[in-house]
Amino acid sequence: MRSDSVTKGIRQAPHRSLLNALGYTKEEQNRPLIGVVSSYNEIVPGHMNLDKIVDAVKIGVAMAGGTPIVFPAIAVCDGITMGHAGMKYSLATRDLICDSTECMAMAHGFDALVMVPNCDKNVPGLLMAAARLNIPTIFVSGGPMLAGRVKGEKRSLSSLFEAVGACAAGTMSEAEVEEFEEKACPTCGSCSGMYTANSMNCLTEALGMGLRGNGTIPAVYSKRLRLAKEAGMKIMELLEKNIRPKDIMNAKAFENALVVDMALGCSTNSMLHLPAIAHEAGVALDLDMANRISAKTPNLCHLAPAGHTYMEDLDEAGGVYAVMNELHKIGLLHTDTITVTGKTTGENIAGCENKDSLVIRPIENPYSKTGGIAVLTGSLAPDSAVVKRSAVAEEMMVHEGPARVFDCEEDAISAIMGGGIKSGDVVVIRYEGPKGGPGMREMLGPTSAIAGMGLGSSVALITDGRFSGASRGASIGHVSPEAAVGGPIALVEEGDLIKINIPENTLDLAISEEEMEKRKAEWKPREAKITTGYLARYASLVTSGNTGAILK
């Protein structure tokens, strides 16, 4: 046992003395030490209930003969950081979460880990740590928020962001916005649509690192506490059988995750996080693979913001396993992969029926024959760009329009809210990539303003930053190479024609090669916006969005 280095032998007498100081009995010290990584805090709505989840995990661990020991992981709320300098820190915390968890687990000799994340960067950050540490690990999230209700209709956080745009356009009053404000987020939990947090918690099931319901059981349901106790008990079985994250998160498991990603219509942020997790697991995952899998994977779900169903509806319909069982009907999954249940994927999903064909389309009647995410390439994005195809209006799947160029998110929002963007325009927001931001900010503010002002089916937005899972419309992000390193997006000028063809996976700047070379020769790097602190260090180490924005 790894904990023997802390608890066994005469030389460990000082160590045991410190464990005595913590109140641990000899019996507890002689059991396996199970680290419980708690992302609890009082600023993230998806994390305010994690103290109760952690307590339930501890009960499960103790019931099965282990000694649970809690230590923390940081978390930021993407919604609260949206639209200001705070968002620069969001993606950057993913690596802090991974690194600090590695430090705590290695420093204290834990035998196994139970990860308790919920919101955007904690799930991928802790999955990265699990792969890096490769000691028995299981995940149990805090669960999704229930949808709000405004005027009898289910609503969510993205509805509120769009309401702000509608108010600017004069189609909604401030009083109506206030009603959304009061009702859109009615409970604790990760925001109620298929946004990044819920996408990654669902994909944790698909990878095999979480038990059934991890991604969908609402935060306020007592069933979530039972799930946490089951996870606490299950980690002892994984420890006994020595089933480790790299046994689970192999190449086949990542293919399964991509298939489920495409079927669910997950957040485009999954195209950052899955490659980063795979990198830690030693698995090659490039974005070309995402397109190959998307080409053969039907899109079965249109959860908010793509449609009018929510995570609670997906849970009632059978959850992730029901989606996987639909996909298995046409042989799209590797069913022989081992999971944290101790069983294979095939054994897990057997008999998991689709209970609501309005929430999960049957495999023979999908929303589309191809997946919910598309990776685009072309003269504007030689390496790649990413779009949530399932949330794009049909009339915007192919679009040509003049570039409206902005060098930061704030300037773009001012133009949109001020009525400066017209039907047909292509808004370009650059110098917001991993290095250029730094931190690759999410652009929910601009996309929601466009939708709220009634331009969602006529205006596209392109950025080297990224999008919240709550964004919808022709929102194309992760443009690589980014502007800060001289990518073509840095060379776009006001009025240039941009051509978007999502069915053909292309994104082009319609200027001649000669003009492109001329602009390249004249381009000069911008001075770094931030030169001290963590973000300066992050900017110096981070790679492009097409590689998962990993640190090297």
The two tokens of residue 59 are 């009960």
List Cα–Cα distances, 131 to 32, 125, 248, 347, in angstroms. 20, 10, 9, 23
CA distance 278 to 283: 5
List Cα–Cα distances, 491 to 428, 430, 524, in angstroms. 11, 10, 10
Q: Are strands 153-155 and 67-72 parallel, antiparallel or unpaired?
A: unpaired
Catalytic residues: 468
The torsion angles phi and psi of 353, rounded to 5 degrees, stand at -85, 155
Q: How many CB atoms lie within 10 A of CB 1?
A: 16
CA max distance for the chain = 76
Which residue do the tokens 């991928």 mark?
124
Task: Report which of 443, 438, 418, 439 is spatially closest to residue 428, judged by C-alpha positions.
Answer: 443
Task: Report which of 197, 192, 196 is spatially closest to residue 156, judged by C-alpha positions.
Answer: 192
As beta bridge partners, residue 385 has 376
- What region, left, alpha or beta, does residue 160 occupy, with left being phi > 0 and alpha being psi -120 to 50 degrees? alpha
List Cα–Cα distances, 432 to 225, 352, 388, 462, in angstroms. 39, 42, 19, 11
Identity of the amino acid at 53: I
Task: Report which of 390, 461, 511, 537 is spatially closest to residue 88, judged by C-alpha positions.
Answer: 537
Task: Report which of 476, 489, 475, 382 is spatially closest to residue 435, judged by C-alpha positions.
Answer: 489
Q: Please, which residues have CB within 8 angstroms of residue 155's CB and are 6 or more apart in sequence?
A: 147, 148, 149, 180, 183, 184
- Beta-strand ranges (E) seen in 127-248 are 137-139, 148-150, 153-155
H or E segment and range at residue 60: helix 50-63
Which residue do the tokens 């260090």 mark?
537
